Amino acid sequence: MNMQRREALKSTGAMGLFGVLVAAGLITPELAHAAWDKAAFEAKSMEDVLKALGAGKPADSKDVQLSGPDIAENGAVVPVGVKSALPGTEFVAILVEKNPNMLAASFTLPEGTAADVSTRIKMGQTSNVYALVKAGGSYYMTVKEIKVTLGGCGG
Amino acid sequence: MKGSRYAVCLATSALALMLPATPAGADETAEGIARYREALADGNPAELWEMQGEELWRTARGPKNGTLEKCDLGQGPGVVKGAFVGLPRYFADTGRVQDLESRLLTCMETLQGIPADEVAKTPFGKGEQKNIEALVAWISAESRGMKFNVPMQHPEERRMYEIGKRVFNYRSGPHDFGCVTCHGEDGKRIRLQDLPNLTKSADAARGFGAWPAYRVSSGELWSMQRRLNDCFRQQRFPYPLYGSEVTVALSTYLGVTANGAGESTAPAIKR
Amino acid sequence: MAAGPMRIRAASNGTETEVKILMSHDMETGQRKDASGNLIPAHHITEITATHNGRVVLAGQFGPAVAKNPYLQFKFKGGAKGDKVSVSWVDNKGEKRTDEVVVS
C-alpha cells in the first residue's frame, strides 16, 4: 500500500472544491456546507422531494437502471447503483420511499463522468427504491423494490 | 433499553423464521442473501481499520515511545506476513500460549510501556481497544488467502487445544447452552444465518478464518476476542476476561481444527 | 472513527478511471437514542467532491440515509497512471477531510 493514500495532503491543489474555496477565503466552512440541499433532504414525501429538486413529474424510463439486491440481509447497509443510458445525464439521485426522509444521496456528474454511480444506503424496512436522473434538461425515474430482512440484532 | 431491545429481537426472530414458507422460497431468499453479501465484499470498510493498523504498527507510542516493529507474533521479531494463520501458539518469553490479541498486549507492554491489564479492562471499541482492533485488522489482512497452520508441538499448545475442546463442548447456563449447541452439527441456522459446524475443518476455516470482521449491523470492527465475548453472552455465560486462558484455548481448538482446510478471509464482512 | 483517513482507489484502464472510496464516518441519523433514551444528534457527511488533477469529476450530497462508513464508486473519462485524484468531504458539523491518491 502506498503511504500517500492515507496522508491528508495540505497543499491547495489537493484540497478539493470547498477546501480551495475555504482556503482562498471565498467561503467559510459553514457556507460550503450551506450548499447542501436541505429542503430536498428533509422532504418526507416523493412530491416534496421532486419539488425541492425542481424535478417536476419525471417520466419512467427503461434507460435508467437501479441495481441492488432483491433482498438485503441488513438494512443498515444496502448496496445500490444507478446507471443511465440517456445521453447527457448530469444528475443522479437515490430515493427510498419508506425512509423517514426519502432522499438518500444525489450526485452531479460533470461532462466526462459516467452515469454509473454506486453507493450504500440505509433502509428502515422493505421499500421501493427510486433512481431519479436528469438528462438533457428532463427528469426520468425508475423503481425497484428491495426487501430488508428482519434481524438487525444479536450476533 | 436492554429489555425492550430483547423483546424486539424475540419478535423479529419469530417473523424471520416464518419467512421461507416453502423450500423454493427458502432457496430464493438464501440466493438473494448470497448476492447481497457478494455486493459488499468489494469495498469492505474493514480496510479503513487495516490502514490505521498498519500505521499504528510503525508509530512510536506509549511511555516508552516505542513502535511495534520488533513485536514477535510467532514468526520472528517484526514478521507480520503469515503470523495470523499461525496463532495461537506458545511463546517462550511469556511461557504461555497466546492468541493475536493477548500477544499484542505483551508487545504493547514490553515495547511501548502500555500496561496490558489496563488495555484488557478497556471496553471494546474504546481507547486502546480501538487501536487493537485496527492492529488485528491489518495483521490478519497480511495473512489473507493463507491456510491455517496453528502449531500443536509444544505440550502447552496441546494442553490448550484439549481445554478448548472441552470448553467448546461444555453446556451450562439457564438454557443449557454450549458452543456445540449451535456449532456442533451441519445445517444449523439462526434466522437467516447459516451456522458453521466448527468441529469440521472446512467450516472451522470459514468461520474462525473470517474474524476479525466488519460488522454491518454495528458498523464496527470486531476482533476475535469480541466475537467470543458475544458467544458467551448468547450462552448466558459470564463474560470472559479479555485475553484470558479460556478464550485463547477456544481459539486454539478452532484454529487447529481449521488447519490445512480453507483460506483465511479475515478481516471479512459480516452481518 | 470520524475524520479518519479515507481509503481511495483509482485505477485507469487507459480510457477511463474507476474510483472507489471508503470514508470513515459515523453517519448518525439523528433518529437513534442512546442508552439513557436521549436522541443522538445527527452527524453525517453532507457534501463530497472528487477532483482529477484539480478538475471536479464528481460532486455528491449525502443525507443521513447513506450507510455508516460510506462507500462510493464512479468512473470518469481520461486519467492516466500517476495522475492525482483528490476527494474531500464536509459534514453537518463543519468537520472536513481531504485525501488524495495516485491513479494506478
Q: Report pLDDT for A24.
A: 52
Tally of CB atoms within 10 A around A2: 9
Contacts of B47 in chain C (CB under 8 A): 7, 22
Best mutation target, C1, C19, C73, to test chain B (most B CBs within 10 A): C1
Q: Is the dihedral of CA C3, B137, B97, B57 positive or negative?
A: negative
Q: Do B48 and C24 touch (CB under 8 A)?
A: yes
Contact C21, C87 (CB under 8 A): yes
Domain with CATH 1.10.760.10 in chain B: 46-141, 147-270
Position C14 in a domain: yes
Residue C17's domain is classified under what CATH number?
Answer: 2.60.40.10
Q: Do A69 and B271 touch (CB under 8 A)?
A: no
Position C1 in a domain: no
What does the block give as the cell for C80? 492516466
Distance CA C104, CA C93 (A): 34
Query: Which are the catalytic amino acids of B?
Result: 231
SS3 C18: strand
* Partner chains of B (3+ C-beta pairs under 8 Å): A, C
Task: Give CATH for domain B147-270.
Answer: 1.10.760.10
Q: Report pLDDT for B93.
A: 97
The reply to whether CATH 3.40.50.1100 applies to domain B46-141 is no
Position C60 in a domain: yes
For chain A, which domains are there?
A: 10-36 (no CATH), 43-148 (2.60.40.2470)
What does the block give as the cell for C62? 449525502
Total length of chain A = 155
The rounded mean pLDDT for chain A is: 82
- Does A7 contact chain C (CB < 8 Å)? yes
Compare all CA atoms of chain A with the CA of B230 and give the residue at the minimum distance: A155
Position C2 in a domain: no
Q: Report pLDDT for B24.
A: 56
CA distance C28 to chain B (A): 11
pTM, to two decimals: 0.86
B115: left (phi over 0), alpha (psi -120 to 50) or beta: beta
User: Which residues are CB-contacts of B38 (< 8 A; sequence separation ≥ 6)?
Assistant: none
Q: How many CA atoms lie within 13 A of C94 on its CB side?
A: 6
Contacts of B33 in chain A (CB under 8 A): 71, 73, 149
Strands B213-215 and B193-194: unpaired
Q: Do A73 and B37 touch (CB under 8 A)?
A: yes
Position C72 in a domain: yes
Q: What is the ipTM of this complex?
A: 0.94
Q: Report pLDDT for B33.
A: 83
Q: Look at residues C63, C28, C35, C61 and name the one whose alpha carbon lies nearest to residue C47.
A: C61
What does the block give as the cell for C87? 476527494
Parent domain of C98: 7-32+39-102
Which residues of chain B fall short of a pLDDT of 50?
1-22
What is the per-residue pLDDT across B58-98, written as a single tens digit (0 to 9) for each? 999 999 999 999 999 999 999 999 999 999 999 999 999 99
Give the number of domains in chain C. Answer: 1
DSSP state of B61: B
What is the per-residue pLDDT across C9-38, written as a single tens digit (0 to 9) for each? 999 999 999 999 999 999 999 988 888 999
| For helices B46-58 and B127-141, angle between their N-to-C axes, nearest 10 degrees | 100
Extended beta strands in B30-168, E state: 89-91, 96-98
Position C66 in a domain: yes
- Does B47 contact chain C (CB < 8 Å)? yes
- Does C74 contact chain B (CB < 8 Å)? no
